[in-house]
A and B are shown apart, each in its own frame.
Chain A
Amino acid sequence: MKLHPDKKLDIELVLADLDLYRPRRKGWFWRRPVKDQQIGPFTYYDTTENLKKSIPLPAAAYFGGIDPQCDYVITTEIASGRFEDDLRRMRMAAWHGADHIMVIRTTGQSHIDGLIEGTPEGIGGIPVTRKQIRASRKALDAIEDEVGRPINFHSYVSGLAGPEMAVLFNEEGVNGAHQDPQYNVLYRNINMHRSFVDAAEAKSVMAAGGILQLDGAHNANATAKEAWKVTPELFVQHAVNCAFSLAVGMTKELIALSTVPPTAPPAPKMRLDLPYAIALRELFLGFPMRAQQNTRYMESDTQEAIVTHVLDTLISRLAGADIQSTITPDEGRNIPWHYNNIAAVNTTRQTLMGLDGLSEILEVREDDSMRRQVRELKERAVLFLQEILEQGGYYAAVEAGQFVDSGYYPERRGDGISRRVDGGDGAGSVTPREADYGAPVCGHFGNNRYAQGDGKPCDEYGGCTLCDPSKIVYIDELDPADSVNERLKVPLEERRQGIVRPEVERHGDGVVCVTLFIPEQPEVAEAAALEMVRHMNLSDPQVISRRIMHPAEGSLFEIKGVLDMPIRTDLLPKSKDEELLSNEEIEAWVRPRNIHLVAATVGEDEHSVGIHEILDIKHGGIERYGFHCHFLGTSVSIERLIEKVVELDADGVLISTIVTHSDVHKGHMRHLHRLAVERGLREELLLVAGGAQVSDQLARECGLDAGFGRGARGQEVANFLVRKLCQRDSLR
C-alpha cells in the first residue's frame, strides 16, 4: 500500500486482504542519531535523521523550511474509540514528528478473561483485537514509508488476558507495550497471584518479540492526591517491575520506566521535580526512560497545560530521557481531539529543538542541597522496601494498604489502596504445574518439560506461530452489526459524494469550538455566551473552558457545539490561492532567464510607495529574484509603457493605479490591454495591475492577467509571474 501526500488514507484498501497481511518487522526502533548535523543554517547536537515528508514548525519558514528531528522518540496517545478514524490521526501525528503511536484500550477490557475479535466500537479507546491491530500496523507501515522513519506501535499487555495479548502483539508486530502486574493489582483489582504469574509469561513473550516494555508506575502520580509525596514509592514500583522483568528473561534495554515529573506550577516545579528525576536516573542506570508529561494537575485551560508540558520536557532534557511522551492539552476537558494530538507533539518538538545542545552550555548544579534531596528520596525508598519485607512480602504489604498512600513515606495517612491477597478478579485461577507440565512453544517462562536440551520447544510439530506465522488463525468479525464495515457506510458514501463536515475526533462529528469573551460577571457571561452560540446554529453547546479575566469586567469561554452542516466540496467557489513557490524556487527559475519587466504608476498619479514595495530589492521586492525591473516613474502614459516594452522586448508590464475617481483605474487597465492587443504584443506579454482598489477579479475583467490589491507582497507577484511564464514556455 503506497500513500500519496495529496490523497486521503484509503480505509477500504487498508481493510482489503487483511487475513494475509504480515508485519514487516518486529521489535522496537530507536531514532538514528546524527552527530553535529548541519540542517539549514544551523549545526545541531541532539538530532537524528531527517524525515522525507513532514510539516515543519511554523517558524521554520524563516530558516529555509527546516524540520530537525530531536533525539528522543516522541509518543502520542490515541483514543477515539474507532480505529478507522485513529489511522488518519496517526498519519497527521507522524507528519509532525511522532514515531511512537500509543493506542488506548476501551474501558473495561482489562476485566475480559480472553481476547476480543473483530472491530467493535470502544469507549475512551478501542477494543484491542487482532483485526484492529493488523489494520493499524498495515496503515502505519505505509505511513512510515511516507514520512521516511519507522513508527513504533504500542498498546497494553495488562488485565486478565495479559499472556494472550502479548502473543497477539508479538505475532502482529506491535513494538511497545505497557506491562506491569502492579497496575492490575492496584488500579484494576485483579488478583495479585494471577497478575504476577500471568506477567511472567507475558513478559517472556514480549522479550521474544523485542517489544519495549513500559511500566505502570506513572499511574500513582495521576492517582495520589499530592503526587509529589508518592515519589519514594514510585522508585519501589519501578524497581519491582524491573527486577521481576529481568528475572523472567527480559533484557535491560527493553525495560523502560514510565516516569512523570509530579508537580505543576504554581508549585515550584523545577525545584521539586528535578531532584526526583535525577535520583531516579541514578538508581535505574541503564534502563530506558519514557518521560511522560504531567496530567495530574491539568484543568481545562489548554495554554496552562502546554506551559507545564514545556517544563516537563525541559526536565527530560536536563535529566535525560529516551522517549518523550506527550499529553494533549485538552486531556483535562475531554477525550483528546485529533488536532490536539498534533498540538502536543508540536509543543514537545518545539521545546526539544529549542533546547538542542543545552548540555554544551548548562549543567545542573550538583551542590549539597541537590545531593541531600537526591539522597533523601533514595533513603525513603529503601525504608519503604524494608517495610514491605517486614509486612511479609509484596502481597501482604498491598493488603495492608502500603501503596498509593498520600503520606510522604514513612509518613502515612492510612488512605492507601488495599487489595485482598485472595480477592479481586481472577482469584483462585492460579494452578500449580504438575511434574509433567509442558508448554511446547517459544517465549514460555518457567518449568517446562519441552525446554530441555537443544532445539526449540516447538520443533516436534514444525514450529509455533512465533516461528511460523502462517499458523496464525485470523478471525475477521464476530458481530457484523458492531463492526467497521457498518460504521463506514455513511462516511464512505459522504466521501464519494464529496461531502465534508468539521470534525475533532471521528469522521464528520461536526464538533466545532467557539471562543468568546463576554464583558459581564461570570454567571451572566456564561449564560450569554451559551445563548450566542445557540444563535450560531450550534447544537448541544457546552462550555469546555472558562477563565475569569476579572470578576466584574468579563470572562473568556470556549464552547463546543455541533455544526450540522454538510458541505459539497464540488460546489465551493474555486480558490485562486494556490500554494506559493518558495523564494528559492522562484529565484532558481528567474535568475538564469534574463526576464525584463516594465513598471510604472500610470495616468495622472504620483503614488509610488506601493510599486516600490513590489519591485525594490530593499523592500523585499521582486528584483531580489533576478527580474530586470525598469521603473519608468509616476504619471506615465500607457503609450510610453508599451514603447518601452517594444524597446526592451519585455516579458511583462506591472502598472500601479491608485487614483480611482470616475473609475479611472479601470480605464487604464482596459487601455493597457487594448493597446497591447493592437500592437500584436498581447499573447507574449503578461499584464499585471496593482493598487488599493484593484482586485484580481477586477483586473481580469479589464483584460489583464492578474491584479493585486492592498497588502500584496513581492513573493505573490513573482509567484504569479513565474507560474505564468512557465506555462507560456511549456506551450511553446
Chain B
Amino acid sequence: MAITERADDYTRRKESLKELDDGELHEEFWKLVNQVVDPMVEEARTHTTPSIERSLLLRMGFDSSESGRLVKRMEELNLLGHGAGHLVLKLARTKGFRVREAGLALLNGRHWDELV
C-alpha cells in the first residue's frame, strides 16, 4: 500500500514497546529483522541468475567473455535452472573431456543437444 503523508504518531505507537527493557527491545529488533530477511534468503537458496552462473564458470576457469556467451545460450535454451557449471561438468564427464574442453566445444556450437 503506497505510503502517503502522515504525522509523527511515535508517542502513540511506542506504547506497544513500553514494557520492553533495553535488552528485550534489542531482541525484538533482531527478531523482526530476521522475519524480514528470511523469505529473501530462501529465495536466494532456491533461485539463480545469469550473473551467478557466469561467476560459476569464471571459477571453473573460463574468462568473462566465454562465461557470458555460454550463459546467454543456456538462458535461451531454458537450461539455466540446472546450473551452468553443472551442465559443463556433466558434458565433460560423459565425453571424457576436461572441463575447459567441454566449455570450448559448446562455444564452438557442439553438443548442445546432449546437455539435457
A36 within 8 A of B: no
CA of A167 to CA of B52 in the docked complex: distance in angstroms?
10
Closest B residue, CB atoms, query A395: B40
Residues of B close to A433: CB separation below 8 A: 46-48, 81, 83
B22 proximity list for chain A (CB < 8 A) = 282, 375, 378
| Interface residues on chain B, number (Cβ under 8 Å) | 63
Which B residues touch A166, using CB under 8 A? 55
Q: Is the CB of B54 within 8 A of A114?
A: yes
Q: Which residues of chain A from 368 to 395 have a CB within 8 Å of any chain B CB?
A: 375-376, 378-383, 385-386, 388-389, 391, 393-394
Query: Is the Cβ of A160 less than 8 Å from the Cβ of B35?
Result: no
Contact A410 B10 (CB under 8 A): yes
- CB contacts under 8 Å to A, within B1-35, are 1-10, 13-14, 17, 22, 25-26, 28-30, 32-35
- For residue A441, CB closer than 8 A to chain B, the reply is yes
A434-B81 CB under 8 A given contacts A201-B55, A429-B49: yes
Contact: A382 with B89, CB < 8 Å? no
Instruction: Please pick, from B4, B28, B80, the residue contacting A412 in the complex, using a CB distance under 8 A.
Output: B4
**A407 close to B (CB within 8 Å):** yes
B51: which of A162, A244, A385 is its contact (CB, 8 Å)? A162
Cβ A465 vs Cβ B45 within 8 A: no
Q: Mark A400-441, 1 if CB is under 8 A from B, else 0.
A: 111001011111111010100000001001111110111111
Cross-chain contact B82 with A438 (CB below 8 angstroms): yes
CB <8 Å contact, B40 and A414 = no
* Residues in chain A near residue B41, CB distance under 8 A: 200, 244, 247-248
* A443 interface residue (CB < 8 Å to B): yes
Rounded to whole angstroms, the CA-CA distance of A242 and B17 in the bound complex is 23
Whether a CB of chain A sits under 8 angstroms from the CB of B86 is: yes
- CB neighbors of B among A193-240 (8 A): 193-194, 196-202, 205, 235-236, 239-240
Instruction: Write the B45-77 contact mask toward A (1 if CB under 8 angstroms, else 0).
Output: 111111110111011111111111000000000
Q: CA–CA, A411 to B35, complex, Å?
A: 23
The distance in angstroms between the C-alpha atoms of A351 and B60, with both chains bound, is: 48
Q: Does B105 contact A (CB under 8 A)?
A: no
The count of chain A contact residues (Cβ–Cβ below 8 Å) is 96
Cβ–Cβ contact B39 & A379, under 8 A: no
Please report the C-alpha to C-alpha distance between residue A378 and residue B1 in the assembled complex, in whole angstroms. 25
Decide: A240 and B61 in contact? CB cutoff 8 A: no
**Across the interface, do A393 and B36 meet the contact criterion of CB distance under 8 Å?**
yes
Which chain A residues numbered 161 to 213 have a C-beta less than 8 Å away from chain B?
Answer: 161-164, 166-168, 193-194, 196-202, 205
Q: Which one, A164, A282, A379, A402, contacts B64 given CB within 8 A? A: A164
Complexed CA–CA distance, A383 and B12 (Å): 11
Asked if B107 is at the interface of the complex by the 8 Å CB criterion, the answer is no
A461 contacts chain B at the CB level, 8 A cutoff: yes
In contact, B44 and A196 (Cβ under 8 angstroms): yes
Report whether B33 and A239 are in contact in the complex, using a CB–CB cutoff of 8 Å. yes
Asked if A447 is at the interface of the complex by the 8 Å CB criterion, the answer is yes
CB-CB under 8 A from A475, the residues of chain B are 63-65
Q: How far is the CA of A376 from the CA of B17 in the complex (A)?
A: 11
A113 touches B51 (CB 8 A): yes
Whether A164 contacts B51 in the complex (CB less than 8 A), given A240-B36, A394-B40, A445-B45, comes out as yes
User: What is the minimal beta-carbon distance from A167 to any residue of chain B, in angstroms?
Assistant: 5
CB distance from B41 to the nearest CB of A (A): 4
* Contact status A411-B6, CB under 8 Å: yes
Residue of B nearest to A285 (CB): B26
Instruction: Check if A461 sits within 8 Å of B99, measured CB to CB.
Output: yes
CB atoms of A197 and B82 under 8 A apart: no
Contact check, B32 vs A248: say whether CB atoms are below 8 A apart: no
Which A residues have a C-beta under 8 Å from some C-beta of B? 113-115, 117, 130, 160-164, 166-168, 193-194, 196-202, 205, 235-236, 239-240, 242-244, 247-248, 282-283, 375-376, 378-383, 385-386, 388-389, 391, 393-394, 400-402, 405, 407-414, 416, 418, 426, 429-434, 436-450, 458, 460-461, 464-466, 471-475
Q: Which residues of B contact A (CB under 8 A)?
A: 1-10, 13-14, 17, 22, 25-26, 28-30, 32-41, 43-52, 54-56, 58-68, 80-83, 85-86, 89, 92, 98-99
Identify the 5 closest CB pairs spanning chains A and B, nearest first.
A438-B86, A200-B44, A411-B8, A163-B55, A385-B32
- Told that A197-B43, A198-B49 touch, could you supply 18 new A-B pairs with CB distance under 8 A? A115-B64, A160-B51, A164-B58, A196-B40, A201-B52, A282-B26, A283-B29, A378-B26, A402-B3, A407-B8, A410-B8, A413-B5, A439-B56, A461-B99, A465-B61, A473-B62, A473-B66, A475-B64
